[in-house]
């Protein structure tokens, strides 16, 4: 009886310890990188690239204006950057290609001064990384140090500096996987609603849960309707604009920005395919990998009686191919990779393949490629300031118009590597995804095992 009484405390202790290690470690990582808040210099607090756009879009939404138009986004960016001694561009306007429901939280951030909002966002991301560490330890049974290193190298290092959304999305997916394992349909649905801030990452998990976990269907329908109602509360026109103009414009822009991209569409466009062919092939590959992920997730869930695989497997599968996938989003494959690493210990080839997958996916290869020790042998980058200026867009134009024009003109020129060199630096990540799916297929075909996890709902 004494041993049983001590288990809850021990479990709580591991959660608290993991959360503390994750949060403190991430904070130290950011501090070691330095220049957090240096006036007149880029940084995650002074110029958080992937937060300033949503912040200004949220401000527009809060003021009842269009967050997908040049104005007021351009003026907002000018003001928030000028307050930190930085200049904005009249032709390169960062924006948030997110649906209205995903911009709604940033409308709350926009009620705060930008300097305070950036500090709060960085804090949330650090806490999210701590949650990822704790959740993956629970999901995979791996030692915390392994999970910490893998998480910091991918979701931490690659996302904190530019204030990405990825840590929050991956944390929500991990919580949804834990809830699915425990048979908690409402909990999984709520977590997936948070993950839907990045729709293309969350969608495969939504589909998988609805298809294979009946007890989650009603909660998913309810949370989905709430997101729809939230979006429509900002007007039908704004929603139509997102789907007909903003989203297609974002996809087109990424075709011309291959260096940070891992999707199939930018790869095809870089090697000469037309924009239409590249986008269609990317969309079809995304649908194909959703099907592959559903199949593999169902097999793994049946073998190990663990519905967590239904959440994480389709998400990992859709990172291979697609219209646009950034390098930092590869962190969404780590939960599955570390879970399979624990399952493959008795199979030498599968275990070695899983180890390679974890290492290949955890390392931010594109970031390493930009380090001075690697890039010093390359010619100097061509900066936009050295090239002819683009036309200044009008205030009522869609912000995708100047964004597409800028990326098309300068996207490839900003990277001094040749196309083959860029492809080579992406090969480890693509190989890691392929290896992960191979291991998933190998383990999923094995004999069914009974575990302590909650059985797949039927």
Q: How far apart are the first and last CA of the chain?
A: 34
390 located within any domain: no
51 located within any domain: yes
User: Is 412 or 218 the better-scoring residue by pLDDT?
Assistant: 218
| Cα–Cα dist 424/434, whole Å | 16
Q: What is the dihedral of CA 430, 269, 411, 426, to 10 degrees?
A: 10
152 located within any domain: yes
* Of 226-235, 319-328, 416-425, the least confident: 416-425
88 located within any domain: yes
Main-chain dihedrals φ then ψ at residue 90, nearest 5 degrees: -80, -15
399 located within any domain: no
The model's pTM is 0.86
- Which domain covers residue 155, as residue numbers? 2-372+419-444
Owner of token pair 């070695």: 352
Closest CA to 396 of 61, 94, 70, 93: 70
Q: What's the rounded mean pLDDT across residues 150-158?
A: 75
Quickly list H helices, 271-371: 275-304, 308-317, 334-343, 348-362, 365-369
Q: Look at residue 12 in the predicted model and tell me its pLDDT.
A: 53
Q: Look at residue 243 in the predicted model and tell me its pLDDT.
A: 92
Residue 458: pLDDT band by 50, 70, 90 thresholds? Answer: very low
The residues, ordered by sequence, that sit 6+ positions from 451 with a Cβ below 8 Å of its Cβ are 304, 305, 306
Specify the number of domains making up the chain.
1
Task: State which H helix or E strand residue 7 sits in.
Answer: helix 2-33
pLDDT exceeding 90 applies to what percent of the chain? Answer: 41
213 located within any domain: yes
Q: Are 103 and 143 in contact (CB under 8 A)?
A: no
| Cα–Cα dist 351/359, whole Å | 12
389 located within any domain: no
Q: What's the rounded mean pLDDT across residues 248-275?
A: 88
CA 163 to chain centre: 11
Question: What's the token pair of residue 207?
Answer: 């589909």
| Three-class secondary structure of residue 308 per DSSP | helix
The residues, ordered by sequence, that sit 6+ positions from 289 with a Cβ below 8 Å of its Cβ are 317, 318, 319, 320, 321, 322
394 located within any domain: no
- Res. 311: pLDDT tops 90: yes
């Amino acid at each position: 009886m004494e041993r049983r009484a001590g288990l809850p405390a021990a479990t709580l202790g591991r959660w608290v310890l993991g959360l503390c290690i994750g949060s403190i470690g991430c904070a130290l990582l950011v501090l070691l990188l330095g220049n957090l808040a240096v006036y007149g210099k880029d940084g995650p607090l002074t110029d958080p690239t992937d937060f300033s756009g949503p912040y200004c879009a949220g401000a527009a939404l809060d003021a009842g204006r269009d967050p997908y138009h040049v104005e007021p986004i351009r003026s907002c960016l000018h003001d928030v950057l000028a307050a930190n001694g930085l200049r904005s561009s009249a032709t390169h306007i960062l924006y948030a290609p997110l649906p209205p429901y995903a911009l709604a939280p940033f409308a709350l951030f926009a009620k705060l001064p930008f300097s305070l909002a950036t500090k709060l966002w960085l804090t949330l991301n650090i806490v999210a990384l701590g949650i990822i560490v704790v959740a993956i330890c629970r999901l995979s049974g791996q030692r915390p140090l392994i999970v910490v290193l893998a998480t910091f190298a991918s979701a931490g290092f690659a996302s904190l500096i530019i204030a990405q959304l990825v840590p929050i999305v991956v944390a929500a997916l991990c919580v949804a996987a834990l809830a699915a394992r425990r048979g908690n349909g409402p909990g999984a649905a709520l977590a997936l609603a948070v993950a839907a801030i990045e729709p293309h990452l969350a969608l495969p998990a939504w589909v998988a849960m609805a298809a294979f976990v009946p007890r989650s269907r009603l909660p998913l329908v309810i949370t989905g309707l709430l997101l729809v109602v939230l979006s429509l509360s900002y007007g039908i026109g704004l929603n139509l604009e997102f789907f007909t103009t903003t989203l297609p414009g974002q996809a087109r822009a990424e075709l011309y920005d291959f260096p940070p991209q891992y999707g199939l569409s930018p790869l095809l466009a870089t090697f000469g395919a037309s924009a239409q062919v590249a986008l269609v092939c990317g969309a079809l590959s995304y649908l194909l990998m959703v099907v592959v992920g559903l199949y593999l997730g169902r097999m793994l869930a049946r073998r190990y009686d663990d519905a967590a695989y239904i959440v994480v497997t389709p998400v990992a599968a859709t990172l291979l191919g697609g219209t646009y996938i950034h390098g930092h989003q590869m962190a969404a494959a780590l939960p599955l990779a570390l879970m399979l690493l624990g399952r493959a210990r008795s199979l030498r080839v599968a275990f070695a393949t899983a180890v390679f997958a974890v290492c290949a996916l955890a390392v931010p290869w594109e970031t390493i490629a930009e380090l001075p020790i690697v890039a010093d042998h390359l010619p100097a980058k061509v900066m936009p300031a050295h090239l002819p200026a683009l036309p200044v867009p009008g205030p009522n134009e869609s912000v995708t118009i100047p964004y597409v024009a800028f990326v098309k003109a300068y996207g490839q020129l900003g990277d001094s590597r040749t196309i083959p060199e860029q492809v080579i630096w992406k090969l480890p990540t693509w190989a890691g995804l392929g290896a992960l799916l191979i291991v998933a297929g190998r383990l999923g075909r094995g004999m069914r095992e009974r575990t302590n996890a909650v059985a797949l709902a039927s």
